[in-house]
Amino acid sequence: MTNNETKDNYVTVRIPKELANEIDAIMESGTLGYRSRAELVNEAIRRRIEQLNSNSMKSNNQNKSVKE
């Protein structure tokens, strides 16, 4: 952890063991380059949030078009 990455900047999230096993299998395959569960989970969450935000913006734009 660097000076900018203190424990105060993180939270713990619990996931089902089955999902953790799937993550471990992806990491063990070595094909995607993830070095830790945290790295894979962070990217997955980041991508999902981007997807949700993008869908929300599209929905908002469609609603504006209908109202006009």
Is 36 in contact with 27 (CB distance < 8 Å)? yes
Average pLDDT over residues 17-26: 95
Inside any domain, residue 29: yes
Indicate the pTM of the whole model.
Answer: 0.67
Range of the domain at 16: 7-67
Task: List, in order, residues 6 or more apart from 11 with CB less than 8 Å away.
Answer: none
The pLDDT of residue 62 is 65
Query: Over pLDDT 70: what percentage of the chain?
Result: 81
The pLDDT of residue 58 is 73
Inside any domain, residue 35: yes
Angle at 57 between CA 52 and CA 61, to 5 degrees: 150
The pair of three-digit structure tokens given for residue 7, joined into one six-digit string: 């424990």
Predicted confidence band of residue 68 (pLDDT cuts 50, 70, 90)? low
Inside any domain, residue 2: no
Inside any domain, residue 1: no
- Separation of alpha carbons 29 and 61, rounded Å: 41
Please state the domain count of the chain. Answer: 1
Tens digits of residue pLDDT in 32-65: 899 999 999 999 999 999 999 998 877 777 666 5
- Separation of alpha carbons 34 and 37, rounded Å: 8
